[in-house]
Amino acid sequence: MIAMSNWSMSTGTERDPPCNPLFLCVLSNTDTCRIPNISAAGATTDLNFYTPAGDAEIVVYGSPRSVPALPMKVDGAPTPAVMTRAALQLTDMPYLFVNAGLRIVPDVPVIDLGAAPGRDIRYGNAVSHADVIYGRAVHIGLQLGKLSDSIIIGESIPGGTTTALGVLTALGYDYGVSSSWKANPLKIKREVVRKGIDASMLTVDEARDDPMHAIASVGDPMMPAVAGLVYGITSSLDCSIILAGGTQMIAVFAILKHLGMDTDRISIATTKYVYQDRSFDFDAAIRDLGCCVHVVDPGFADSRMDGLRKYEDGEVKEGVGAGGAMYVAGMLGVTQKEMLDAVEAVYEELMGGNRLGKPR
Protein backbone atom coordinates (compact mmCIF):
# COMPACT_ATOMS: atom_id res chain seq x y z
CA MET A 1 0.00 0.00 0.00
CA ILE A 2 1.17 3.50 -0.84
CA ALA A 3 0.19 6.38 1.47
CA MET A 4 -1.58 9.01 -0.65
CA SER A 5 -2.34 11.52 2.09
CA ASN A 6 -2.55 11.42 5.87
CA TRP A 7 -5.84 9.57 5.56
CA SER A 8 -5.78 7.36 2.49
CA MET A 9 -3.64 4.53 1.11
CA SER A 10 -3.69 2.98 -2.36
CA THR A 11 -2.51 -0.23 -3.95
CA GLY A 12 -1.74 1.63 -7.18
CA THR A 13 -0.57 5.02 -8.31
CA GLU A 14 -3.03 7.83 -7.82
CA ARG A 15 -4.53 9.86 -10.63
CA ASP A 16 -4.72 13.63 -10.71
CA PRO A 17 -7.63 15.08 -8.71
CA PRO A 18 -10.76 15.12 -10.90
CA CYS A 19 -11.95 18.39 -12.46
CA ASN A 20 -15.67 17.62 -12.53
CA PRO A 21 -16.42 14.48 -10.54
CA LEU A 22 -19.94 13.04 -10.30
CA PHE A 23 -21.19 10.81 -7.51
CA LEU A 24 -23.83 8.16 -8.24
CA CYS A 25 -25.54 5.98 -5.68
CA VAL A 26 -27.45 2.92 -6.86
CA LEU A 27 -30.38 2.04 -4.60
CA SER A 28 -31.83 -1.48 -4.63
CA ASN A 29 -33.65 -4.01 -2.52
CA THR A 30 -33.25 -7.76 -2.31
CA ASP A 31 -35.59 -9.98 -0.31
CA THR A 32 -32.44 -11.70 0.91
CA CYS A 33 -32.28 -9.01 3.62
CA ARG A 34 -35.42 -10.51 5.21
CA ILE A 35 -33.54 -13.60 6.30
CA PRO A 36 -33.22 -13.11 10.06
CA ASN A 37 -29.85 -11.81 11.36
CA ILE A 38 -28.33 -11.45 7.92
CA SER A 39 -28.13 -7.65 7.66
CA ALA A 40 -27.64 -4.86 10.20
CA ALA A 41 -28.43 -2.22 7.57
CA GLY A 42 -31.71 -1.16 9.14
CA ALA A 43 -33.36 -0.58 12.50
CA THR A 44 -34.84 -4.11 12.43
CA THR A 45 -35.03 -6.93 9.87
CA ASP A 46 -38.56 -5.78 9.00
CA LEU A 47 -37.36 -2.23 8.43
CA ASN A 48 -34.35 -3.18 6.25
CA PHE A 49 -36.44 -2.53 3.13
CA TYR A 50 -36.57 1.18 4.02
CA THR A 51 -32.81 1.61 4.33
CA PRO A 52 -31.90 2.67 0.75
CA ALA A 53 -34.71 5.25 0.70
CA GLY A 54 -33.74 6.49 4.16
CA ASP A 55 -30.08 6.70 3.16
CA ALA A 56 -30.94 8.76 0.08
CA GLU A 57 -33.06 11.15 2.12
CA ILE A 58 -30.27 11.56 4.69
CA VAL A 59 -27.74 12.36 1.94
CA VAL A 60 -30.06 14.97 0.42
CA TYR A 61 -31.85 16.46 3.44
CA GLY A 62 -29.81 15.41 6.47
CA SER A 63 -32.63 13.29 7.89
CA PRO A 64 -35.30 10.86 6.66
CA ARG A 65 -38.43 12.44 5.21
CA SER A 66 -40.76 9.67 4.12
CA VAL A 67 -39.42 6.55 5.83
CA PRO A 68 -40.64 5.53 9.29
CA ALA A 69 -37.27 4.91 10.99
CA LEU A 70 -33.60 5.77 10.81
CA PRO A 71 -31.71 3.26 8.62
CA MET A 72 -29.58 2.04 11.55
CA LYS A 73 -29.79 0.19 14.86
CA VAL A 74 -31.00 2.02 17.94
CA ASP A 75 -27.81 2.73 19.93
CA GLY A 76 -25.79 1.54 16.89
CA ALA A 77 -23.25 3.23 14.69
CA PRO A 78 -24.88 5.68 12.26
CA THR A 79 -25.57 4.81 8.65
CA PRO A 80 -22.58 5.58 6.38
CA ALA A 81 -24.91 8.06 4.64
CA VAL A 82 -23.61 10.60 7.19
CA MET A 83 -20.11 10.29 5.70
CA THR A 84 -21.46 10.52 2.17
CA ARG A 85 -23.46 13.64 2.97
CA ALA A 86 -20.48 15.26 4.67
CA ALA A 87 -18.14 14.47 1.74
CA LEU A 88 -20.64 15.83 -0.81
CA GLN A 89 -21.10 18.99 1.26
CA LEU A 90 -17.37 19.61 1.59
CA THR A 91 -16.68 19.08 -2.12
CA ASP A 92 -19.88 20.51 -3.63
CA MET A 93 -19.73 17.44 -5.87
CA PRO A 94 -22.88 16.83 -7.96
CA TYR A 95 -24.68 13.58 -7.24
CA LEU A 96 -27.58 11.53 -8.55
CA PHE A 97 -29.44 8.49 -7.24
CA VAL A 98 -30.36 5.50 -9.37
CA ASN A 99 -33.39 3.32 -8.61
CA ALA A 100 -32.39 -0.21 -9.54
CA GLY A 101 -35.17 -2.25 -7.97
CA LEU A 102 -36.44 -0.41 -4.91
CA ARG A 103 -39.42 -1.59 -2.87
CA ILE A 104 -39.62 1.81 -1.16
CA VAL A 105 -38.97 4.89 -3.30
CA PRO A 106 -37.41 7.87 -1.47
CA ASP A 107 -38.72 11.41 -1.45
CA VAL A 108 -35.81 12.28 -3.73
CA PRO A 109 -35.74 12.32 -7.53
CA VAL A 110 -34.05 9.22 -8.92
CA ILE A 111 -32.93 7.89 -12.27
CA ASP A 112 -35.32 4.98 -12.71
CA LEU A 113 -33.99 1.90 -14.49
CA GLY A 114 -37.40 0.19 -14.25
CA ALA A 115 -35.92 -2.76 -12.34
CA ALA A 116 -37.85 -5.07 -10.04
CA PRO A 117 -36.53 -5.73 -6.51
CA GLY A 118 -34.32 -8.78 -6.13
CA ARG A 119 -35.69 -12.04 -4.74
CA ASP A 120 -34.31 -14.17 -1.89
CA ILE A 121 -31.24 -15.84 -3.39
CA ARG A 122 -31.95 -19.16 -1.65
CA TYR A 123 -34.29 -20.02 -4.51
CA GLY A 124 -31.60 -19.52 -7.15
CA ASN A 125 -33.65 -17.11 -9.25
CA ALA A 126 -32.77 -13.77 -7.69
CA VAL A 127 -32.92 -11.10 -10.42
CA SER A 128 -35.41 -10.70 -13.27
CA HIS A 129 -34.27 -9.21 -16.56
CA ALA A 130 -30.70 -8.52 -15.46
CA ASP A 131 -29.85 -7.88 -19.13
CA VAL A 132 -32.56 -5.18 -19.41
CA ILE A 133 -31.33 -3.47 -16.24
CA TYR A 134 -27.81 -3.65 -17.66
CA GLY A 135 -28.88 -2.17 -21.01
CA ARG A 136 -30.70 0.76 -19.45
CA ALA A 137 -27.76 1.45 -17.16
CA VAL A 138 -25.43 1.42 -20.17
CA HIS A 139 -27.58 4.15 -21.72
CA ILE A 140 -27.31 6.33 -18.61
CA GLY A 141 -23.58 5.65 -18.29
CA LEU A 142 -23.05 6.68 -21.90
CA GLN A 143 -24.70 10.05 -21.23
CA LEU A 144 -23.09 10.77 -17.86
CA GLY A 145 -19.63 9.73 -19.04
CA LYS A 146 -19.71 12.66 -21.45
CA LEU A 147 -20.28 15.11 -18.60
CA SER A 148 -17.63 14.13 -16.05
CA ASP A 149 -13.97 13.08 -15.86
CA SER A 150 -14.45 10.88 -12.80
CA ILE A 151 -17.61 9.05 -11.75
CA ILE A 152 -17.88 7.51 -8.31
CA ILE A 153 -20.51 4.75 -7.96
CA GLY A 154 -21.78 3.70 -4.54
CA GLU A 155 -24.71 1.55 -3.46
CA SER A 156 -27.27 1.02 -0.73
CA ILE A 157 -28.83 -2.43 -0.65
CA PRO A 158 -29.44 -4.25 2.63
CA GLY A 159 -28.43 -7.87 2.30
CA GLY A 160 -25.93 -6.85 -0.35
CA THR A 161 -22.90 -8.51 1.20
CA THR A 162 -24.76 -11.83 1.07
CA THR A 163 -25.60 -11.42 -2.61
CA ALA A 164 -21.97 -10.35 -3.16
CA LEU A 165 -20.87 -13.59 -1.50
CA GLY A 166 -23.36 -15.37 -3.74
CA VAL A 167 -21.88 -14.04 -6.96
CA LEU A 168 -18.25 -14.35 -5.82
CA THR A 169 -18.90 -17.96 -4.81
CA ALA A 170 -20.72 -18.67 -8.07
CA LEU A 171 -17.69 -17.29 -9.93
CA GLY A 172 -15.40 -19.55 -7.94
CA TYR A 173 -13.81 -17.02 -5.56
CA ASP A 174 -13.48 -17.69 -1.85
CA TYR A 175 -12.51 -14.51 -0.03
CA GLY A 176 -15.25 -14.56 2.61
CA VAL A 177 -17.33 -11.39 2.77
CA SER A 178 -17.69 -8.33 4.97
CA SER A 179 -20.75 -7.40 7.03
CA SER A 180 -22.63 -4.48 8.54
CA TRP A 181 -22.62 -6.52 11.76
CA LYS A 182 -19.69 -6.38 14.16
CA ALA A 183 -20.05 -10.16 14.48
CA ASN A 184 -20.34 -11.26 10.84
CA PRO A 185 -23.00 -14.00 10.42
CA LEU A 186 -20.76 -15.63 7.84
CA LYS A 187 -22.03 -19.14 8.54
CA ILE A 188 -25.63 -18.12 7.81
CA LYS A 189 -24.50 -16.31 4.66
CA ARG A 190 -22.60 -19.31 3.38
CA GLU A 191 -25.62 -21.55 3.94
CA VAL A 192 -27.86 -19.10 2.11
CA VAL A 193 -25.46 -18.90 -0.82
CA ARG A 194 -25.02 -22.67 -0.96
CA LYS A 195 -28.80 -23.13 -1.12
CA GLY A 196 -29.06 -20.56 -3.91
CA ILE A 197 -26.30 -22.04 -6.00
CA ASP A 198 -27.70 -25.54 -5.53
CA ALA A 199 -31.17 -24.35 -6.51
CA SER A 200 -29.86 -22.59 -9.63
CA MET A 201 -27.70 -25.60 -10.62
CA LEU A 202 -25.10 -23.11 -11.85
CA THR A 203 -21.51 -24.31 -12.26
CA VAL A 204 -18.43 -22.11 -11.84
CA ASP A 205 -17.58 -22.51 -15.52
CA GLU A 206 -21.07 -21.46 -16.58
CA ALA A 207 -20.98 -18.46 -14.23
CA ARG A 208 -17.55 -17.34 -15.47
CA ASP A 209 -18.71 -17.70 -19.03
CA ASP A 210 -21.92 -15.75 -18.39
CA PRO A 211 -21.70 -13.58 -15.25
CA MET A 212 -25.18 -12.15 -15.94
CA HIS A 213 -26.45 -15.69 -15.32
CA ALA A 214 -24.66 -15.63 -11.94
CA ILE A 215 -26.38 -12.32 -11.11
CA ALA A 216 -29.76 -13.66 -12.21
CA SER A 217 -29.27 -16.73 -10.00
CA VAL A 218 -27.71 -15.50 -6.75
CA GLY A 219 -27.01 -11.77 -7.20
CA ASP A 220 -29.03 -8.58 -6.81
CA PRO A 221 -30.32 -5.83 -9.15
CA MET A 222 -27.62 -3.36 -8.04
CA MET A 223 -25.03 -5.50 -9.83
CA PRO A 224 -26.26 -5.26 -13.45
CA ALA A 225 -27.03 -1.58 -12.82
CA VAL A 226 -23.47 -0.78 -11.73
CA ALA A 227 -21.95 -3.04 -14.40
CA GLY A 228 -24.03 -1.30 -17.08
CA LEU A 229 -23.19 2.18 -15.80
CA VAL A 230 -19.50 1.26 -15.89
CA TYR A 231 -19.70 -0.08 -19.44
CA GLY A 232 -21.53 3.05 -20.64
CA ILE A 233 -19.11 5.39 -18.88
CA THR A 234 -16.03 3.65 -20.26
CA SER A 235 -17.22 4.60 -23.76
CA SER A 236 -16.08 8.12 -22.83
CA LEU A 237 -12.35 7.89 -23.22
CA ASP A 238 -11.39 10.43 -20.57
CA CYS A 239 -13.65 9.40 -17.69
CA SER A 240 -12.33 7.24 -14.86
CA ILE A 241 -14.53 5.22 -12.52
CA ILE A 242 -14.31 4.64 -8.80
CA LEU A 243 -16.42 1.79 -7.44
CA ALA A 244 -17.24 3.01 -3.96
CA GLY A 245 -17.71 0.12 -1.59
CA GLY A 246 -16.15 -2.95 -0.08
CA THR A 247 -16.94 -6.58 -0.81
CA GLN A 248 -19.97 -5.65 -2.91
CA MET A 249 -17.81 -3.66 -5.29
CA ILE A 250 -15.24 -6.45 -5.38
CA ALA A 251 -18.10 -8.66 -6.57
CA VAL A 252 -19.01 -6.07 -9.24
CA PHE A 253 -15.35 -5.85 -10.27
CA ALA A 254 -15.25 -9.63 -10.67
CA ILE A 255 -18.39 -9.43 -12.82
CA LEU A 256 -16.76 -6.77 -15.02
CA LYS A 257 -13.67 -8.95 -15.42
CA HIS A 258 -15.70 -11.96 -16.47
CA LEU A 259 -17.79 -9.82 -18.82
CA GLY A 260 -14.46 -9.13 -20.53
CA MET A 261 -14.44 -5.41 -19.79
CA ASP A 262 -11.27 -3.38 -19.84
CA THR A 263 -10.81 -2.40 -16.19
CA ASP A 264 -7.79 -0.12 -16.60
CA ARG A 265 -9.67 3.04 -15.63
CA ILE A 266 -11.65 1.41 -12.82
CA SER A 267 -10.54 1.39 -9.19
CA ILE A 268 -12.23 0.62 -5.87
CA ALA A 269 -12.36 2.95 -2.88
CA THR A 270 -13.54 1.90 0.54
CA THR A 271 -13.10 2.55 4.24
CA LYS A 272 -10.36 1.03 6.36
CA TYR A 273 -13.12 -0.70 8.33
CA VAL A 274 -13.82 -3.02 5.39
CA TYR A 275 -10.18 -3.38 4.43
CA GLN A 276 -9.21 -4.42 7.97
CA ASP A 277 -12.16 -6.81 8.31
CA ARG A 278 -10.67 -10.26 8.86
CA SER A 279 -13.76 -12.01 7.51
CA PHE A 280 -12.86 -10.84 3.98
CA ASP A 281 -9.48 -11.45 2.36
CA PHE A 282 -9.18 -8.14 0.52
CA ASP A 283 -5.54 -8.68 -0.47
CA ALA A 284 -6.34 -12.00 -2.13
CA ALA A 285 -9.14 -10.33 -4.09
CA ILE A 286 -6.83 -7.50 -5.17
CA ARG A 287 -4.21 -10.02 -6.26
CA ASP A 288 -6.63 -12.29 -8.15
CA LEU A 289 -8.65 -9.59 -9.84
CA GLY A 290 -5.85 -7.08 -10.37
CA CYS A 291 -7.82 -4.11 -9.10
CA CYS A 292 -6.39 -0.93 -7.61
CA VAL A 293 -7.94 -0.20 -4.20
CA HIS A 294 -7.95 3.07 -2.26
CA VAL A 295 -8.49 2.77 1.50
CA VAL A 296 -9.73 5.74 3.50
CA ASP A 297 -9.44 6.34 7.25
CA PRO A 298 -12.01 8.93 8.30
CA GLY A 299 -10.34 9.20 11.71
CA PHE A 300 -13.29 8.06 13.80
CA ALA A 301 -10.89 6.80 16.51
CA ASP A 302 -10.54 10.43 17.53
CA SER A 303 -14.25 11.25 17.35
CA ARG A 304 -15.97 12.81 20.33
CA MET A 305 -19.10 10.83 19.39
CA ASP A 306 -19.74 7.26 20.59
CA GLY A 307 -21.61 6.22 17.45
CA LEU A 308 -18.72 7.04 15.15
CA ARG A 309 -16.17 5.30 17.37
CA LYS A 310 -18.27 2.13 16.94
CA TYR A 311 -16.98 2.01 13.37
CA GLU A 312 -13.54 1.39 14.89
CA ASP A 313 -15.05 -1.66 16.61
CA GLY A 314 -16.31 -3.01 13.29
CA GLU A 315 -19.96 -1.87 13.25
CA VAL A 316 -21.51 -0.96 9.86
CA LYS A 317 -18.10 -0.31 8.21
CA GLU A 318 -19.15 1.09 4.81
CA GLY A 319 -22.03 1.82 2.43
CA VAL A 320 -23.80 4.53 0.38
CA GLY A 321 -20.49 5.05 -1.43
CA ALA A 322 -19.03 6.61 1.73
CA GLY A 323 -15.46 5.42 1.18
CA GLY A 324 -15.36 6.64 -2.40
CA ALA A 325 -16.96 9.99 -1.64
CA MET A 326 -14.42 10.57 1.14
CA TYR A 327 -11.53 9.40 -1.03
CA VAL A 328 -12.42 11.98 -3.69
CA ALA A 329 -12.83 14.63 -0.97
CA GLY A 330 -9.27 13.82 0.12
CA MET A 331 -8.00 14.12 -3.46
CA LEU A 332 -9.67 17.52 -3.66
CA GLY A 333 -7.78 18.73 -0.59
CA VAL A 334 -10.15 18.01 2.29
CA THR A 335 -8.20 16.98 5.39
CA GLN A 336 -9.07 14.13 7.75
CA LYS A 337 -9.88 16.68 10.49
CA GLU A 338 -12.23 18.62 8.20
CA MET A 339 -13.90 15.38 7.19
CA LEU A 340 -14.35 14.22 10.79
CA ASP A 341 -15.77 17.59 11.85
CA ALA A 342 -18.22 17.54 8.95
CA VAL A 343 -19.33 13.95 9.65
CA GLU A 344 -19.87 14.79 13.32
CA ALA A 345 -21.97 17.81 12.35
CA VAL A 346 -24.12 15.71 10.00
CA TYR A 347 -24.51 12.97 12.61
CA GLU A 348 -25.47 15.50 15.27
CA GLU A 349 -28.03 17.04 12.90
CA LEU A 350 -29.43 13.57 12.17
CA MET A 351 -29.82 12.60 15.80
CA GLY A 352 -31.28 15.90 16.90
CA GLY A 353 -31.32 15.98 20.67
CA ASN A 354 -30.68 12.24 21.01
CA ARG A 355 -27.97 11.38 23.52
CA LEU A 356 -26.01 9.50 20.85
CA GLY A 357 -25.69 12.74 19.00
CA LYS A 358 -24.23 14.60 21.94
CA PRO A 359 -20.54 15.17 22.54
CA ARG A 360 -19.08 12.93 25.22
Binding site for a copy of itself (CB under 8 A): 20, 22, 60, 92-96, 99, 105, 107-114, 136-137, 139-140, 142-144, 146-148
| Comparison of 56 and 316: residue with beta carbon closer to a copy of itself | 56
CB of 84 to a copy of itself, least distance (A): 14
Q: What separation in angstroms does the CA of 45 have from each of 31, 143, 276, 331?
A: 11, 37, 26, 37
CB of 195 to a copy of itself, least distance (A): 33
CB of 64 to a copy of itself, least distance (A): 16
CB of 317 to a copy of itself, least distance (A): 27
Asked if residues 269 and 246 have their Cβ atoms less than 8 Å apart, the reply is no
CB of 309 to a copy of itself, least distance (A): 33
Q: What separation in angstroms does the CA of 67 have from each of 63, 75, 275, 324?
A: 10, 19, 31, 25
d(CA 9, CA 272): 9
CB of 333 to a copy of itself, least distance (A): 18
Asked if residues 250 and 163 have their Cβ atoms less than 8 Å apart, the reply is no
| Comparison of 124 and 228: residue with beta carbon closer to a copy of itself | 228
Asked if residues 260 and 254 have their Cβ atoms less than 8 Å apart, the reply is no
| Comparison of 146 and 304: residue with beta carbon closer to a copy of itself | 146
* 217-230 per-residue burial string, b: 16 or more CB within 10 A, e: under 16: bbbbbbbbbbbbbb
| Comparison of 186 and 225: residue with beta carbon closer to a copy of itself | 225
Asked if residues 95 and 24 have their Cβ atoms less than 8 Å apart, the reply is yes
- Among candidates 282, 360, 273, 349, which has minimal Cα distance to 311? 273
| Comparison of 60 and 249: residue with beta carbon closer to a copy of itself | 60
| Comparison of 82 and 111: residue with beta carbon closer to a copy of itself | 111
